[in-house]
Structure 1
Amino acid sequence: MAEILWRCRGRSGAAAVCIEGMERQFDGGRHFSADGLTERLLVHRPESKSELTALLAVPEVLGALRRPTGHGIALFVISAILSRGPMQVLLDMKGGLDGGSPKLIETHNYASQELVNLLLCGCAHSQVFDGNQYLSDKRPEGGDDEDSGDGVVTEEFFDLYHGRGGGKEDDDDITVLRGIPSRCDVGFLTLFEAYEYMEVGQNLKEPRCPIWVICSESHYSVLFSPEDNVRGVLEVYYYDELGDQEEEIRLGLDPKPRKRQLTAKEAEDSTELVPPIDLVIRTRWRGAAVDWNGSEPIL
C-alpha cells in the first residue's frame, strides 16, 4: 500500500492516507452531497516514504483499511486520488479519441482502466500501451503530461474541464492518448488483447515483480509467481476472489508446445473449449500451452 500511494503522489511530494473519523469535517457544496463517509474523512499527509510506511503500520490505520466490514477499499482509493491530486487525476483522464470525460468507476461499479492504471503506475491514464501516442503530425512542445500540482479542484477548473468555461486546448489539432509512462512493479493483462481490441505494452507485460492483474470475464483477478525473474516464469498461480475460490490453482506454462494453440478468434469457431484465462496468458506468453495441473479449468 505504501508503494502505491507513494508512487501516486503529486508535485508536493506528500502522499495522502485517509481514515474514517467520527465527526463531520465539512458541509456539502455545489458538486457534493453527503454520502456518510467522504464528509467524515481524516486526511494524513506523510512527507516521506518512511513516514508513510510507519503511518500505515499503525494498528488503527491498518485496521481501518483492512477491516472486512469497513470502508477499506473506498478509503484506499480516495487516498490514491488525494495523493495524486484531484485536479491532476482529472487531467490524466482528459482527452482521448472521443474527447469525453472518463470516470474512475464505470457501469455496475466496476473499476475503470483509469483507476486500475492509477493504482498500478501512479497516473490515471486511459491507455495500456507504453508512453503516449499523438494523433497528429506534430508533438506538443514542452510535453503534455507534466503534473500540474496537487491543488484542489476549483469551481473554475471544474467548469473548464467540463467545457462550461470557454476553455480551449493549446493545440486543438493534437489528440493525446496517454499510456503507461514507465515499467510498473505489478503488471496487467486483459482478455481484450486476446480479441485484438487493444495491445498492452511491455511496461505492464514485463513488471518488476511477477504479478499481473487480470481483466477477464467482466472482473479482475490475479496471476502471480514465486519466481524472482519475471522473464523466466513458467509456472503461475491464479486467484479469483470474486469467484470465492478456495482451492489452489497452479498453472504450468509450456512456451513451445508440440500442438499449436488456438487464438481467441479461432477458439470462437472451434468446438474445443478454451478457458479465457488461457487466452489471456497467451497475450504475455505467445503460443504457450497451459496445464491446469488437475484443477477444473474455468470456462
Structure 2
Amino acid sequence: MDKELGDQNHHFSEHDLDAIANKISDLGKWREIFSQQGLQFKDTVVKKYPDSRKVEDESKDGAGTPQSRSITSRSHFTTSSFPYCVPKAFVVSSNLDGLPITLETAVALRKILFGTAFQVFSYEWKKSHFKFRDAYSDLAYALEAERGGIRSIQMAVQAHILKYLLFTRNSELESQNINCLLGVNHKGQECALAAALSDILWTAGEGARSFVCLVTTDCYFAPTIDYKMDSYTERLQLFQFTDREKLQNFIAEHIRCFTGEGSHAVILFIYSLLLSRTLERLYTDMDNTTSHLLQLSLGNFICTQALINLMLTGRASPNVFNGDIQYDNQGVLLKEPKHGVLARSDVGYLYWNRHELEHERLPQVGSMLKTPKLPIWLCNINDTFSVLFNTNRLLLSDWRMEHLFDLYFYSGQPSQTKTVTLTIDTHSHHWEDGMHEEEGDPEKRFPSVEMTIRTKWEGAVIDWNGTVPFF
C-alpha cells in the first residue's frame, strides 16, 4: 500500500499543486471576510497521535471537563492562530452551583440590548476584556481602551477604578496625592477592577441583589428558530448575591473571567449589569425614546445614553437632564414623561460634541451629572470617551477650592504614556477676550477637552502645564 501511495503522489503535476495552493489562498480570503463580520472558522490541523486508542480513551472521560479538554487540544488538535480569530474561549467549571441560564432569559437579554434575539455581538465585542496598562508604570491604574461602544464601557469602569483607588481603599483621607496612583502592582490592579465592577453592579441592584454571569463548559438549552446561538450566552451560569462583600469577593476570585483573553469579559459585565438591574426595572427606567440599549453606528454597536447612565447612576435613564420632564417646550403635557437623572451619583458625566454644536443640538447635561459626589467624570468628547478626575474629595463641596485646582486627564489612547495635569483657573476670564476678537467657533481654536471642562466651569482658563494639547 505504501508503494501505491508513493505512486499516486508521484503523479501529482505542477498544475495540480498550483490549484491546491490557489484554493488555500481563497480559503484565507474567505476567513478574513468572515472574521470581519464577527464570524470565525474552526481552523484545526490534525496531528498524528502515537497511539490512537489513547485519544479515544481520553475523549470518553467527558469533553466537558477542563482536564480532558486540555489533553485533547494538546494531543489531537492544534488550533491555528489567525489575526482575525477570537481568542480561545476562557470558561469555568459547570460545578460552581450557579443558576443555568434559560432560553427565555437569553432572548430577553438580546431583545433589550439589540431589539431582536437574532442579533449577536460582533468580533470586536467578543474579544474585548479589561486589560490594564503595565503594572508599576505611570499609568498602572489605567485600562487599555478600545474603540466604539466597548470604549465607553471600559472608561466607565475606569472611572469607578479611580473611585476605589482614590477614595474607597483609603476612605479616611480627604485628599490624596496623584502619586498614590503611580506604580500600582498587578494585585492592586485586580483588586481595583473587582471593586469597580462590584460597585457598578451593586448600585444597579439598588443595594439589595446583584448578579454575576460566567461562561461555563455546559450548554443549557437547545437551538431554536427564535434565537440565534452564539456559543457563550447559552453556557452562562448566573450567580446571585445579596451581600456586597460576597459579591466583590466572588468577582475577585474569578477575576480572570474579566481580564483573560477569550473571556468575553465586557459582554459578561453587560449581562451581569442588566440582570442586576432586572429587566422589569430597565423598561421602567427607559422612556419611549429608547427601546434597546445598543445601537448600530458605522458598522459597530455603541452604547445609548441609557446604558451609560446605568453604569454611572444605577438607573437606565435615557437623558442627561435633571429629573423627569412632563411637558414639552410649548407647555403641552407629554403622553409619556421623559426620564432624566434623579440624584447625584459618585461619578459624574461631561459632554461635548462639536458636530452637534454646529447644529445647535448639544444636550444640556444637568447638575446631577455635572456635580457628582466625588470629583471624577466620564467624558464623552466628540463621541470618544475619556476620564477627568481630581484627588481631593472635597473639591465639589467647598466652593473656595474651585478657584484654582488641578484636573487629571486620561484619554484612553495608547499614545498617552502619563497622566496629563490640567490646571483650572475659574477666576481669570481673559480667554473670552480672545473669543470676541476673532469670529468663528471657539472649538476651532480651543482643544475639545477644554471646551468640555468649560461646560462645568464656564469661562475657566486651562493650563496644560507644558503638555502639547492633543484632545
* Same topology, TM > 0.5: yes
Give yes or no for the alignment of 1:112 onto 2:304. yes
1:1-299 to 2 correspondences below 5 Å: 1-9=197-205, 13-29=208-224, 31-58=226-253, 61-96=254-289, 101-107=291-297, 108-135=300-327, 174-192=335-353, 195=357, 197-231=362-396, 232=401, 234-261=405-432, 268-269=440-441, 273-299=445-471
Q: Deviations over 1:100-154 (max 9, x none)?
A: 6243344222222111011111111110111111127798xxxxxxxxxxxxxxx
Q: Which amino acid aligns with 2:302?
A: Y
Change (3 A) 1:258 1:113: closer
Q: Deviations over 1:63-102 (max 9, x none)?
A: 2112255321111111100101123223322313xxx624
- Tell me how large the CA RMSD over aligned residues is: 2.7
Cα offset, 1:34, TM superposition: 1.1
Change (3 A) 1:24 1:86: same
Contact 1:19 1:41 in 2 (8 A): yes
**TM-score with structure 2 setting the length:** 0.50
Provide the C-alpha distance between the structure 1 equivalents of 2:261 and 2:349, rounded to a whole number of angstroms: 26
Q: Which sections of structure 2, spanning at least 5 residues, go unmatched? A: 1-196
Change (3 A) 1:92 1:271: closer
Change (3 A) 1:257 1:243: farther
- Structure 1 window deviating more from structure 2 (67-76 vs 178-187): it is 67-76
The aligned counterpart of 2:15 is: none
Q: Which amino acid aligns with 1:42?
A: Q
The aligned counterpart of 1:152 is: none
Cα offset, 1:27, TM superposition: 3.1
Question: Secondary structure at 2:303's aligned position in 1?
Answer: coil
Percent of counterpart pairs with the same letter?
28
Provide the C-alpha distance between the structure 2 equivalents of 1:28 and 1:180, rounded to a whole number of angstroms: 40
Q: Which amino acid aligns with 1:238?
A: F
Report the number of matched residues.
258
Cα offset, 1:37, TM superposition: 2.0
Provide the C-alpha distance between the structure 1 equivalents of 2:348 and 2:199, rounded to a whole number of angstroms: 14
Q: Which structure: greater helix fraction?
A: 2
Runs of 4+ in structure 1 deviating by more than 6 angstroms, as ranges, are 136-139
Question: Secondary structure at 2:255's aligned position in 1?
Answer: helix
Contact 1:10 1:85 in 2 (8 A): no
Q: Which sections of structure 1, spanning at least 5 residues, go unmatched? A: 140-172
Change (3 A) 1:65 1:293: same
Provide the C-alpha distance between the structure 2 equivalents of 1:2 and 1:73, rounded to a whole number of angstroms: 14
Q: Which amino acid aligns with 1:82?
A: L
Cα offset, 1:28, TM superposition: 4.3
Provide the C-alpha distance between the structure 1 equivalents of 2:337 and 2:224, rounded to a whole number of angstroms: 32
**TM-score with structure 1 setting the length:** 0.77
